[in-house]
Amino acid sequence: MAFLKHPDCIYIGGEWHPAATREAVINPADESLLIEAPVGSAAQVEAAIAAARHAFDKGDWPHLPMAVRQAAMTRFLDAVEARRAEIIDMIVAEAGATRMLADFLQYGIPMKHARRTVELAARPAVTPLPVELTPNARGGKTLGTGVVVREPVGVVAAISPYNFPFFLNIGKVVPALLAGCTVVLKPSPYTPMEALILGEIADEAGLPKGIFSIVTGDVEAGQLLTSDPRVDLVHFTGSDKVGAMIQAQGAPTLKRIVMELGGKSALIVRPDADLQAAAMSGLGGFTTHCGQGCALTTRMLVHNSIRPQFVEALRAMLAHVKIGNPADPSVGYGPLIREAARRRTEEYVAIAQGEGARLVAGGRRPEGLDRGFYYKPTLFDDVRNDSRLAQEEVFGPIGAVIGYDDDEEAIALANASDFGLSGAIWSADAGRAYEMALRIRTGGVAINGGAGTMLSDAPFGGIKRSGYGREYGEEGLNEFTYQKVISFHAA
């Protein structure tokens, strides 16, 4: 299946350039070759940065009326929508997402967010400050005031991971460009196509030359972006370990950084919870995209009075999970991204068993799937909260059940983590759940399933080793701007 019109090129400043080298990108479901993807050289990364810098410093884009940028990004999103079926096929093949996940979550949610971001960009760019009366040296009073102006940060290096690549590419590029920034996007080497297709779409939408580039590559390309003084902001999604390296690389140039990093989020199940609904939520917390999601609730804190029933409900549900090629619409659970991810999962299964956790289900590769990086969804009970399984991000399909005896203990266990990205509480007492949510140290908490969607106006991000800064909504849009105060005498 041919996905790209320029399969041997990278996108620099609105122009396609032959790549320095090529690298195989494989389908994680069957290990077949998808594309010999272009890999940019250091010189090409430098050229992309230079194009973005020139377009920001000398071009019109940062100074255009917001309505003009909104119209341009609406054309861009319309052009994305025209290729929806093609992009969903690409997400399934490249990221290994099931067809339902690719359609409704990996494509539908970011497009919903992006359309809302275009609307939010219409907010006033100038905010008046209150008038102040101040005694002056002449014995009178000075009438003074000012305004706060939001202006684009500058050149943005957007670095995205392999698990939700289209989702995160759109979530970084659209608000950055709307704010008036110029962007260099670097995708994961595992999933370059879901970035490169955006270059084709930028051409179709007629975006101005220079404001958007896409460079491919691995560590070297990323380090060039995070250390170059011409880059004003690094917007990164990935692991906490890589995030720490990026922070160090950006430090010499005092670069502004927004990072959404790892997670080990807790799902708290109180004794009065709807057991089936809570168990279904728990199932999704470690089987969605094979556990390859930073905000997934892989740590389940369950009241000991109902823990046996909860674990049994989960075990029964796991028996009905259909594992297979995600291109099959009836499949609900596909492969991990690469063999390294499967080996890491296997290592954590061994670690958990060595720590005394009880294996309830899974813990092995499925039969009959000899090609592809499949691993059965795996559930452990009797997990200690201070164990490695409970504290370290596996990024694989392992759920850990931890018992507790009262609300205070549940809150303490949830907070006893280096991460703080998301969380969830199931309880018939929504008021008590809300009180508990206020005390959990994390970027977000869903009560009884939350809003049923990822809210487009809600800021998303974490604390502690889950990063800092926010994405989506007005807060996410503001990350790509800085505030300038202009003060003056009114009289």
Which residues are the active-site residues?
260, 294
Q: Which two tokens stand for residue 159?
A: 């670095």
Residues 6+ apart with CB under 8 A from 139: none
User: Could you report how far apart the first and last alpha carbons of the chain are, in Å?
Assistant: 69
Q: Within 13 Å, how many C-alpha atoms sit on residue 390's CB side?
A: 24
Cα-Cα-Cα-Cα dihedral sign, residues 167, 170, 172, 178: negative
Say if residues 31 and 371 touch (Cβ distance below 8 Å): yes
Cα-Cα-Cα-Cα dihedral sign, residues 307, 308, 309, 315: positive
Tally of CB atoms within 10 A around 274? 15
Q: Tell me, what DSSP letter sits at residue 16? A: E
Q: Determine the 3-state secondary structure of 278 from DSSP.
A: helix
Q: Determine the 3-state secondary structure of 121 from DSSP.
A: coil
Say if residues 272 and 195 touch (Cβ distance below 8 Å): no
- Secondary structure of 280-330 in HEC code, one letter for each residue: HHHHHHHHHHHHCCCCCCCEEEEECCCHHHHHHHHHHHHCCCCECCCCCCC
Cα-Cα-Cα-Cα dihedral sign, residues 315, 319, 325, 326: negative
Rounded distance between C-alpha atoms, residue 62 and residue 475, angstroms: 19
Question: What are the DSSP calls for 5-34, one per residue?
Answer: SSTTEEEETTEEEE-SEEEEEE-TTT--EE
Rounded distance between C-alpha atoms, residue 134 and residue 220, angstroms: 55
Rounded distance between C-alpha atoms, residue 246 and residue 262, angstroms: 14
| Biggest distance spanned by C-alpha atoms of the chain | 90
Rounded distance between C-alpha atoms, residue 195 and residue 166, angstroms: 7
Say if residues 236 and 184 touch (Cβ distance below 8 Å): no
Question: What are the DSSP calls for 174-198, one per residue?
Answer: HHHHHTT-EEEEE--TT--HHHHHH
Q: Within 13 Å, how many C-alpha atoms sit on residue 77's CB side?
A: 26
Phi-psi group of 179: left, alpha or beta (phi > 0 → left; psi -120 to 50 → alpha; rest → beta):
alpha
Residues 6+ apart with CB under 8 A from 82: none
